[in-house]
Amino acid sequence: MPEEVLFKSESAQSRDEIASYLRSVAEKLEQGGPITLKSGAESVTMDPPARPTFEVKAEREGPTDGPGELSIEFELEWDENSKGGEGNSGSLEIE
């Protein structure tokens, strides 16, 4: 299935700034409302269902014998025509 990027923003941010963005998303999720992403003239509004699939990934990209790029990715995923995910692969803990 081809992927269509609806919105993308990438910039260096302080840890405090990132935490503020994540708190804003968390508040919208708790309230059950849509989430609007904006950057300049570009914007997209998405309305996650009550039970989307939540994926967390820690990755390292780069050569096995040298320095690479590390990332932590948080993803909410759902089918456009469904009420939410039913899958559960275990309990997530973040410490």
pLDDT tens digit sequence for 41-65: 999 999 999 999 999 999 999 988 8
pLDDT of 14 above 80: yes
Q: Residue 86 class from Cβ within 10 Å (0-12 exposed, 13-18 middle, 19+ buried)?
A: exposed
pLDDT of 26 above 90: yes
Sketch the domain layout of the chain as residue ranges: 1-47, 49-85
Largest CA distance in the chain: 46
Predicted model pTM: 0.80
